[in-house]
Amino acid sequence: KTKGKDDIITLPDTSVVFVEYNEPLSPLLRSIYTVLDRSPPQLLREIIIVDDGSDAEAPWLAPGGEFEKHIEMLPKVKLCRLKGRNGLMRARNVGIALATAETVTVLDSHIEVNVGWLEPLMGRIAEGRAEGIHRVVVPAIDSVDADNFDYTAGGIDILGHSWTLGQVGVYRPKSVVSADPVPSPIMAGGLLSLERQW
């Protein structure tokens, strides 16, 4: 995006952090591969997978197991194993501490990113930097069926609270194009990007 004739905003790179615990192999690999395949190489510094104490119920995740052998062949993928269960937030913080890129992008370990997923997130962070603002940005989240992996556009978007403090979708005005950024009172906690130092 160009701000002025000679003032171009450059996009920061990111470290993607996945936390998994006894995650089935196929969705975990699908998550990693879509990030590798659908991210501009110059924007993706690394993928950090934090294993939050997976146990004997997931032998494919054991040290030296099928998953570890597979990711050893992949570029930019690092694995960190935690001893015992630490919980999602603590495990994410470990992944964030290991990150080396300008930004960190946290994703659930059973997702699929789409083509062009990363550029808008990094663009909003870069715009915020230019304005002196730190932004936490969240993508629109489409749905992938757990049984047959069918893709459905339009899942979680703008969120707010119900009267009982539950999470509910907020109406997106028709005047706002679906790709346009909009403020959201709350966010889905599984997918977000922010500046690493912040």
Count the Cβ atoms, other than its own, within 10 Å of residue 77: 18
**72: which 2 tokens?**
């050893």
Does pLDDT of 8 surpass 90? no
> pLDDT per residue over 129-168, tens digit each?
989 999 888 887 777 677 887 776 666 667 777 888 887 7
In the chain, the amino acid numbered 106 is V
Whether the Cβ atoms of residue 100 and residue 16 lie closer than 8 Å to each other: no
Tens-digit pLDDT profile for residues 162-186: 888 887 777 666 665 566 677 777 6
The 8-class DSSP code of residue 146 comes to: T
Per-residue model confidence as pLDDT tens digits over 50-66: 999 999 999 999 999 99
C-alpha pair distances (Å), 148 with each of 27, 109, 111: 12, 17, 14
Mean pLDDT of 18-47: 96
CA distance 86 to 10: 36
* pLDDT (0 to 100) of residue 112: 87
Cα separation, 39 vs 105, whole angstroms: 12
* Eight-class DSSP state of 61: G
Beta bridge partners of 109: none
Tell me: the pLDDT tens digits for 9-28? 699 999 999 999 999 999 99
Binned at pLDDT 50, 70 and 90, residue 198 comes out as confident
**pLDDT tens-digit profile of 59-118?**
999 999 999 999 999 999 999 999 999 999 999 999 999 999 999 999 999 888 989 999
Does the pLDDT value for residue 4 go beyond 60? no
- Predicted pLDDT at 154: 64
Strand duo 44-51 + 14-20: pairing? parallel
CA distance 109 to 8: 34
Please tell me the pTM assigned to this model.
0.84
Beta strands in 2-125 (DSSP E): 14-20, 44-51, 77-81, 103-108
Phi-psi region of 156 (alpha: psi -120 to 50; beta: other; left: phi over 0): beta
| Three-class secondary structure of residue 7 per DSSP | coil
Tokens 């989240």 correspond to 141
107, two tokens: 């994703």
